Structure formats: structure tokens, C-alpha cells
Structure 1
Amino acid sequence: MSTTKTIPLTLIALFAFAANSVFCRLALNSEQVPPLDFTVIRLISAAFVLAVIVILQNKIKLTQITNYGSYIGAVYLFIYAAGFSYAYVSLGTATGALVLFACVQFTMLFMAWLNGSRMGLQEYIGVLLSVAGFVYFVMPELEKPSLVGCILMAIAGIAWGLYSRVGSKSTQPLYDTASNFLRLIPISILGLAFVILNSELSITTMGWVYTIASGALASGVGYAIWYLVLPNLAPSIAAVCQLSVPIWAAAGGLLLVNEPLDMHMLVSATVILGGILLVILAKANR
């Protein structure tokens, strides 16, 4: 793929990842969509779109897609999706995105260390800087209701980091992701049935739009584009690109959800993302 195609497609994928946070906040807070409703509808719509993309792209049968992926990957994916939805009940768009992506990177670094990857001085400095920034960020939340949201989003980030670790050796990441979403269809349908029986699925029109957009566009199409450009990006470049997602999410929250950005948030984000960037660059140089 040429650079002229890789760059805009990469930006679209990153915007889609950030849009997930924005759509979730709009659905849960502006339209009062319950987090369970949001989670199951998002998973079903993402599974449908990814299945259609894979079938149209490769002319294979739906039963063949299920030969890819894994049940453990599907479990991590479900924990991420559920934690993500319930966390955003009390977290702002930028806050949630920062916690999520910081915990994803921390998890992957920790797993690499457990598997024998040793760090140099710059990497240790970067990790310590990020952890210090994360502690500084979380401290004011200890006496607020949003502490529960931070914990749930941290769990979602850890699950996504483990999911990424499982898929790091994948030769067909789009197939695996589509398969993992499809494996969650039964539990998603059970969740949807529970919602209908207990609350009659009373969602506004815009609530449906935001929820389906999160699943079909931000997740389904976003992942498809990301895995299309990923082979053309060096691992360090891909990791650095993902660090920009909390920034785009913050911009989306500011413009679309009318969420203010304070100095505490800006300082925390700079220190956390700056520390992770040091680690990534050290790995790339080594």
C-alpha cells in the first residue's frame, strides 16, 4: 500500500477509535442509554459489520470465519466492551480514553517483561514517569464517584491489552477479530433478551444512532481499516499512533459533548503519554 493511502486510512482508523469514546458518552449521558443496552447492541452491530466485510472481501462462508479467533480472546473482548460501557457512566470522554489507553500500554509492557523482555534505562524512566503521571491523575478521583469508573475503565484497558497480546502473533487479525465478535453473539442476544423483558428497550432514536455507530462504524469499520494499514506500519509507529487517540477523544468530547479540559487533565495526559512514548522510542531504537 502506498504512503498516500496509508496515512489517510491510518488517521481514519484513529478517529474511529476516538469516536468510540465520544459515541459512548453521547449515548449513555445525552440519550440515557443504559450501559447493558449499549454493550450488547454495540457487540451485535460490530459483529454483523465485520462478518459482512470479511465475506465480501474474501468470498468465504460465515462458518469458515469461526475457524479463526479464540474463546479466550472473545472473553477479553467482552470484558473490555462491558467495562468500557459501565465506566463511561461516570467518566468524561477524555478521562476514559486516557485511562483506557494507558492501561492497555501498561498491560502490554508488563506482559512483555514477564516473557523475558528486559528494559533499558530510558524505558525504566518512561515507565516510572507514566506511573507517576497516572497516580497524579487518579489521586483527585479517590473521593469522587468517578473512582469506580476509573477502576472499570482500567479493567477494560487490561482486558484490551491481554486481547492485543493474544492477537500479537495472529496472521489474520481481521478474521480473528470478526470471529471473536461472532463468538459473543449468543451472550449478546441473551443480554438483549434480558433488556427487552425488563425494560422494553426504551431507547431514543439518537440513542440508537450513537450506539449502532459505535459498533458498526467506530468498532467494525474502524478495526477493518486499522488491520488493513497495520502491515504497512512499523510496530513503534503503530504504538505511537495509538497514543494520539486520547487526544482526539478529548477534542471530540470538547466539541460534541461540551466537556471542558482542565489543567490537571492536560498535565496528567502529557506526563503519562510522554512516558509511554519514551518506552516506545527506546524499543524502536534498540
Structure 2
Amino acid sequence: MKQLKQDLPMLTVLTVVTMMAFAANSLLTRLAFQTTHIDPASFTAARLGAGAVVLLIMKKMRLMHAAGAREAWTSAAILFGYAIAMSYAYRGIGTGAGALVLFAAAQVPMALSGYRKGERTSSLGIVLALGGLIAFLQPWRSSATLGSAALMAVAGIAWGLYSLRGKATGNAVQWTADSFIYAVPMAVLWLLPTWSFIKGDLSGLAYAALSGAITSALSYVLWYWVRSQMTATGAGAVQLSVPVLSVVLGALVLGEHVSAWSLMSAGVTLVGVALISMRTTRPAQ
């Protein structure tokens, strides 16, 4: 790990792999709600459950001890909030659009955390990233779509907070496993008031299991190691590359239309991200 920490090319490769996994996660979620009859509560419970099983196996293989109960419950609550809001949001928003709102919103807590720690970045980059996002959302007229965007923003803020907590952990597998395991009871409890809306769908459950086990659990473990090598601001910014990958996947797999306005707005956002990533500096020691 020490050698890898100093290997910038390897860090770059792992970052790209992680961002691709995040994009695939958005695709699987959108795919489930567009092509199957599964409901958001069931999808979330299956997703978190599958992730918990995979991470529990990894945790047992490494013979780790559980984290403190209070810390685990807090992280689990944030994780559940992110997962359930994302599930409900993807019923009414496209793959790429949802990913853009999600990861743009995630920048808010991460950028604020970095600023408090003395990190400084490009003001122009921030203006371009946020302006591009606003422009991206401008063509929307449907209140249902805007409602989904609002839910996705909530999911994004929760994801940003979860990412910040993950950096402080000394062991990504243990911390992520505890978060998923403690989040499962919350997902099960959420099923109770939504029982009349539950719809069983094997294909939807399969997508949820893949999302939970592969593009969530395993990619989160990788992300928290990658995240530990970055500034808070830079880590938030690099995640805005995910919407571009999500747009491509949504167009290829689901045939989602991508307008010239959307491409231009996304491009402006990514230019802002590039400026933020290149010009963010850590405080002097």
C-alpha cells in the first residue's frame, strides 16, 4: 500500500476504474426502474443487503473487529439516506442527468470541508462547474422531473458526507462493511410503511444485487482508498466525470436521448471540474 500510495499512474487507473463503476451503478439503478416493475424500497433493501453480504465475507476473511456502534450507525444512516433517495429519484430522471445532479450536489459538503481545512481552489472552476449544472437543468419543465432532481440532490449531499467520513477510516473494508450491515435494518424498516406499494420483480432484484455487490460495495472500498490520497475538493471534483460516463452508458444501453444543450452544459461543468482538480492546493504545513 505504501508503494502504491506513491504510484501516481496506478492511482489514476484506480480512480478511472472507480468512476466507471459509479457510472455503472447509476445505469443499473435506472435500468431497473425503466425496464422492470421493482419498487424503490425493495430495490434499496436488496442493494444494501447484497452489498452487506459481500462485505461481510471480505471482513470475515480479514478477521477484523467491528467499528464502534455509534460511528457505525451514523455512517449507516447517511448511507441509507443516499441509497433510498437515489432509488426514488431514478424513477423520473435519466441516467446521465441523475448522475450529474448526484455528484454535483456531493461537491457541496466536500468543498466546504476542504475550505474549512484551508484548501484553496479555482474560483472560475467553481463558477463553471455550478453554472454548467444550472444550464443543464434549465430545459426541464416537468415538475415530476424537478422533484426527482431534488431527491437526487439530497442523495448527492448524503454521498458527499459519507465520502468525507470514509476518508477518516483506517480500513476501508471494515468501515464500509459496518456501514452496509447497519444500514440493512433501516432498509427493512422502510419496507413496512411502503408494503402496499411493493412489487416483486426478479430482474429488478438481480439489478439491485449487482448494484449492491459489485458497483456499490466493492467500488466503495476502492473509492475510500483512492479518496484518502486526494484533497476533499479534488475528490469531489473528480466525481463529476461520472455523469459523462453515465450519459454514454444511458445512450448505448437504454437509448436515452442526449441533446446538444445537455452536451454543451456537461462540457462546461467538466471544464470547471478540471480547473478545480488542477488548482486545488492543500494548506501549508
Flag whether TM exceeds 0.5 (same fold): yes
Q: Is the 8 A contact 2:37 2:199 kept in 1?
A: no
RMSD over aligned Cα atoms = 2.6
Q: Aligned letter for 1:65?
A: A
Aligned ranges 1:1-286 → 2 under 5 Å:
1=4, 9-56=14-61, 58-60=62-64, 64-67=65-68, 69-113=71-115, 115=116, 117=118, 119=120, 123-192=122-191, 198=196, 201-203=199-201, 205-227=202-224, 233-235=229-231, 241-284=238-281
**Shift of residue 229 of structure 1?**
5.2
Q: Per-residue deviation at 1:237?
A: 7.1
Secondary structure of residue in 2 paired with 1:244: helix
Q: Is the 8 A contact 2:58 2:173 kept in 1?
A: no
**Number of residues paired by the alignment?**
276
In structure 2, give the amino acid aligned to 1:274: V
Q: 1:10 to 1:133 in 2, by over 3 A?
A: closer
Give the direction of change, closer, same or farther, for the CA distance of 1:7–1:132 in structure 2 (3 Å limit).
closer
- What whole-Å deviation, never above 9, does each CA across 1:152-203 have from its counterpart, x for those lacking one? 00111111111222233222233212111111122223334666x5356521
Specify whether residues 86 and 191 from structure 1 end up closer, same or farther in structure 2 by C-alpha distance, changes over 3 A only. same
Choose 144-153 or 127-136, whichever is displaced more. Answer: 127-136
Task: Rate the CA distance shift 1:112–1:237 in 2: closer, same or farther, 3 A.
Answer: closer
Q: Distance in 1 between matches of 2:188 and 2:282?
A: 47
CA offsets 1:217-238 (integer angstroms, 9 cap, x no match) = 111122233345556x554875
User: 1:165–1:238: structure 2 CA closer, same or farther, 3 Å change rule?
Assistant: closer
Identity %: 33
Is contact 2:78-2:161 (8 Å) kept?
yes
Distance of aligned partners of 1:103 and 1:239 in 2 relative to their CA distance in 1, 3 Å threshold: closer
Whole-angstrom distance in 2 between the partners of 1:9 and 1:165: 19
SS in 2 for 1:141: coil
TM-score scaled by length of structure 1: 0.85
1:42 Cα deviation from its structure 2 partner: 0.7
CA–CA distance in structure 2, aligned partners of residues 27 and 199 of structure 1: 16
State the AA in 2 paired with 1:67: G
Change (3 A) 1:160 1:184: same
1:129 deviates by 1.7
Could you report, residue by residue, the CA deviation over 1:242-283 in whole angstroms, capped at 9, with x for unpaired residues? 332212211111111111211121112111222132122111
Deviations 1:106-152 (A, max 9, x none): 33112333x263646xx211112222222212222244420001100
1:185 partner amino acid:
V
Aligned mates of 1:81, 1:200 — CA distance in 2: 17
- Alpha carbons of structure 1 residues 143 and 210: separation in structure 2 relative to 1, 3 Å: closer
How far, CA to CA, are the matches of 1:134 and 1:5 in structure 2?
30
CA spacing shift, 1:268–1:200, aligned 2, 3 Å: closer
**Uncovered stretches (5+) of structure 2, i.e. residues with no partner:** none
Partner Cα separation in structure 2 for residue 230 and residue 148 of structure 1: 30
Asked if 2 retains the 8 angstrom alpha-carbon contact of 1:47 and 1:178, the reply is yes
